[in-house]
Structure 1
Amino acid sequence: MIIAVLNQKGGVGKTTLSVNLAAALALSGQRSLLIDADPQGSALDWQAARKGQSLFPVVGLAKPILHKDVPGLAVGYDHVVIDGPPRVNELAKSAILAADAILIPVQPSPYDVWAADEIVKLIQEVALYKASLRGLFAITRKIGNTAIGRDVAAALKDYPYPVAATAIGQRVVFAESAATGLSVLEAEPKGSAAKEIRSLLREVLES
């Protein structure tokens, strides 16, 4: 499966999800590839911070012809994760064309719900030519059992894609592990963050 993690709003946790989902796949015995399609190159920076052998390769490919190159790159891998650009443009469209499923991270904020509209419209535009394309929202950086987290999930139900039952909490381990090029599944394999990533991955694969 090719999974693209996309949202036009920055700071929603795209790279965090991309890196940790790829790690969860690799640690479960799946051959995974992470494509950094964000011109900022955050996933490549994560890889550069790592000491020792990586769980999976990271390839930088921030080009609007991404969808033409991905099939060749995907040969030999069970799953490919694409860390998409932080805006709706031709590069984002190319990532959608390349993908089987789109994961849309959204923070518990009304601004994020409003910003989701553009990426949803772009996915729907591509879906006219690719009927099998699937979409899934994931609430990220959620703080406890707060009302705003529940409100955002309710607001997102107005869109044509489901909201994952698994929300990713705001946890220090995500930043601490990223600083050393690790995933949360390596830093705290039995921690809450690792459990949330594994749970979200199951939902993505079953979506």
Structure 2
Amino acid sequence: MAIISLVNQKGGVSKSTTSVHLAYWLVVKQKKTVLLVDADSQRSSSQWVEGMEGVTIPCKVIQTPDDLLEQIPTLAADYDYVIVDGPASLSEATRAILFRSDLAVIPVQPTGVDLRSASDAMRLVKQAQSVRGGLPNVCIFLSRAVKGTKLKDEAIALLSQIQEAKLLKTVIHQKQAIADTSGQSATVWDFSGKPANDSANEYDKLFKEVMSWV
């Protein structure tokens, strides 16, 4: 079993989108057993997977720090992977999640506010690593980027300087196909057309990188 969390205090950075797509990829593409834990008060990911057709992804809503600390290890024993969609805050709930995670994944948008929030998330990760003697491993990836922009290049350069975390090579670019997935309780693999196919290929590459750090 392995516990992978998506964390960042900033909302709208693709935590829920990445959590759902990663869970789907593991279940459908890798034939693994997966539990999705929704720790966000908006319950985006749990409502998303509950509306999916043709695939069942078990999901549990757990939001209090004590419940996260107590329940995640017990639940993880029954699955190959637990994916935790973290809250949009650096709260005690986020701290509890990091104390139970094998890998923390931090999605970051190429904006100044998001880059600063990634540094704040890294602070919590390092605190957990200090207490736990190394875990969780941590990696960062750039999400919702626009190809050919200076912002994207600058963000990659800045994130590359964070020595404590691995910046993944794969970038998830902004696409309408991705934006449409949550409202339709779907993933990019369910859509046709080149934009959806391009995004599916990006997610496939990203998740292969993520799994190499578990």
What TM-score results when the alignment is normalised by the length of structure 2?
0.91
CA contact 1:68–1:98 (8 Å) conserved in 2 = no
Aligned with residue 142 of structure 1, among 124, 145, 156: 145
Report the 3-state secondary structure (helix = DSSP H, G, I; strand = E; otherwise coil) of the residue aligned with 2:170.
coil
How far apart, in 1, do the equivalents of 2:23 and 2:83 lie? 6
2:191 aligns with 187
1:157 aligns with 160
Letter in 2 for 1:57: P
**Cα displacement string for residues 133-189 of structure 1 (whole angstroms, at most 9, x for unaligned residues):** 211111000111322111101111232212110011101111222212111123349
2:40 aligns with 38
Aligned with residue 76 of structure 2, among 70, 74, 77: 74
Farther-moved stretch of structure 1 (12-21 vs 169-178): 169-178
**Cα displacement string for residues 38-57 of structure 1 (whole angstroms, at most 9, x for unaligned residues):** 0111112213433x343311
CA contact 2:20–2:49 (8 Å) conserved in 1 = no
2:11 aligns with 10
Report the 3-state secondary structure (helix = DSSP H, G, I; strand = E; otherwise coil) of the residue aligned with 1:179.
helix
How far apart, in 1, do the equivalents of 2:192 and 2:126 lie? 37
- Quick one: percent identity of the two aligned structures? 29
How far apart, in 1, do the equivalents of 2:155 and 2:98 lie? 24
What residue ranges of structure 1 are gaps of 5+ in the alignment? none
Report the 3-state secondary structure (helix = DSSP H, G, I; strand = E; otherwise coil) of the residue aligned with 1:81.
strand
Letter in 1 for 2:89: R
How far apart, in 1, do the equivalents of 2:36 and 2:55 lie? 11
How far apart, in 2, do the equivalents of 1:98 and 1:184 lie? 29
Counterparts in 2 of 1:188 and 1:74: CA distance versus 1, 3 Å: farther
Report the 3-state secondary structure (helix = DSSP H, G, I; strand = E; otherwise coil) of the residue aligned with 2:174.
coil
**Cα displacement string for residues 79-115 of structure 1 (whole angstroms, at most 9, x for unaligned residues):** 1110000010100001111110000000011211111
Deviation at 1:67, TM superposition (A): 2.4
How far apart, in 2, do the equivalents of 1:202 and 1:48 lie? 25
1:110 aligns with 112
Superposition RMSD in Å: 1.5
How far apart, in 1, do the equivalents of 2:178 and 2:77 lie? 30
What residue ranges of structure 2 are gaps of 5+ in the alignment? none
Deviation at 1:37, TM superposition (A): 0.5
1:85 aligns with 87
What is the number of equivalent residue pairs in this alignment? 206
What TM-score results when the alignment is normalised by the length of structure 1?
0.94
2:174 aligns with 170
Deviation at 1:116, TM superposition (A): 1.3
